[in-house]
């Protein structure tokens, strides 16, 4: 049994991950801006504060905290929030672990497939590929660089570059469940996805099987916006309209953020599979019919 500190533990992934870790007899504590339960402890990035009791005897930190990429338009101020909510939180954790001389067995951080850039191509990106050059790639690069600070103190670092997380309630899938299901833009952009349980079990395997390094956290089966929309419509028994939502409409509605809806490429899951992870939901059909 390990003592695991989770940031972002009250979010979509954090809640499910907490349930699964506790079911496996791990002790979980959560950093929260507004702690409400005995296993939650306060932290405040603006004042560089973390309740030291949260870090006491901690074996692993799972760092999920970060403002939602698709929650608001990407204004200049919002872009800073997206970066700072990831980088400053990581820096604060690193500082406190050093100050308190916490003997961590591992630091495990979220990242995103946005690392490779928001583009549409037939390339299949592997973990060794270069990062993209757009804003989202910049966010992920800075996020990962901050996480790698822990390796300078001989603390193993694991990073999961995550695709679109599918869950029964909340997250991207809820927003896709429109009365009529349609692809977005051309519909040819790829949608790298992962079932929430597979993502959570990857975090668990990082702890229990000492999974160290950078891994793409996406399901093996690739889908475009068109094929994804068809599968979703069928699972919900809702009408499918093959005409895509016009790109110009999405750009007017969402501004620069629309790029994450209109672009997307294939991402390889082979590395994590070669390192012993076995997917529970390899196909989109199995994932969608699980909800």
For 65-122, write each residue's pLDDT tens digit.
999 999 999 999 999 999 999 999 999 999 999 999 999 999 999 999 999 999 998 8
Domain ranges of the chain: 3-288
> For the ranges 198-202, 224-228, 252-256, which has the lowest average pLDDT?
252-256
Q: Assess if CATH 3.40.47.10 describes domain 3-288.
A: no
For 38-66, write each residue's pLDDT tens digit.
899 999 998 999 999 999 999 999 999 99
The CA R_g of the chain, rounded to the nearest whole Å, is 19
Alpha carbon distance 267, 287 (integer Å): 18
- For residues 189 and 139, the answer to whether their CB atoms sit within 8 Å is no
Binning pLDDT at 50, 70 and 90, where does residue 27 land?
A: very high
Please name every residue paired with 7 in a beta bridge, in sequence order, or none if there are none: 31, 63
Distances (CA, A) of 144 to 24, 62, 105, 141, 175: 28, 13, 18, 5, 28
Binning pLDDT at 50, 70 and 90, where does residue 37 land?
A: confident
pTM higher than the cut 0.75: yes
What average pLDDT does range 173-189 have in this prediction?
95
For 140-177, write each residue's pLDDT tens digit.
999 999 999 999 999 999 999 999 999 998 889 999 99
Longest dimension (CA), the chain: 58
Alpha carbon distance 85, 91 (integer Å): 10
Q: Is the pLDDT of residue 256 over 90?
A: yes
């Amino acid at each position: 049994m390990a003592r695991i500190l989770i940031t972002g533990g009250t979010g979509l992934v954090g809640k499910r991950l907490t349930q699964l870790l506790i079911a496996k007899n791990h002790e979980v504590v959560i950093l929260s801006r507004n702690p409400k339960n005995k296993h939650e402890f306060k932290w405040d990035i603006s004042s560089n504060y973390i309740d030291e009791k949260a870090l006491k005897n901690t074996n692993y930190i799972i760092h999920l905290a970060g403002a939602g990429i698709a929650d608001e338009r990407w204004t200049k101020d919002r872009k800073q929030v997206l970066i700072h909510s990831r980088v400053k939180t990581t820096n604060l954790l690193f500082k406190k672990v050093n100050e308190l001389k916490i003997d961590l067995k591992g630091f495990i951080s979220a990242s995103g497939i946005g690392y490779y850039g928001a583009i549409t191509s037939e390339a299949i990106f592997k973990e060794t590929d270069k990062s993209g050059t757009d804003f989202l790639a910049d966010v992920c690069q800075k996020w990962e660089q901050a996480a790698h600070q822990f390796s300078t103190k001989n603390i193993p670092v694991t990073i999961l570059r995550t695709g679109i997380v599918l869950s029964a309630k909340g997250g991207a899938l809820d927003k896709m469940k429109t009365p009529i299901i349609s692809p977005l833009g051309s519909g040819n952009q790829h949608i790298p996805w992962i079932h929430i349980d597979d993502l959570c079990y990857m975090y668990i395997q990082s702890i229990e099987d000492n999974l160290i390094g950078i891994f793409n956290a996406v399901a093996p089966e690739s889908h475009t916006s068109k094929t994804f929309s068809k599968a979703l419509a069928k699972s919900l028994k809702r009408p499918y309209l093959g005409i895509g939502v016009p790109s110009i409409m999405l750009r007017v509605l969402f501004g620069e953020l629309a790029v994450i809806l209109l672009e997307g490429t294939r991402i390889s899951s082979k590395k994590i599979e070669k390192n012993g992870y076995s997917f529970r939901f390899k196909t989109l059909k199995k994932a969608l019919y699980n909800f």
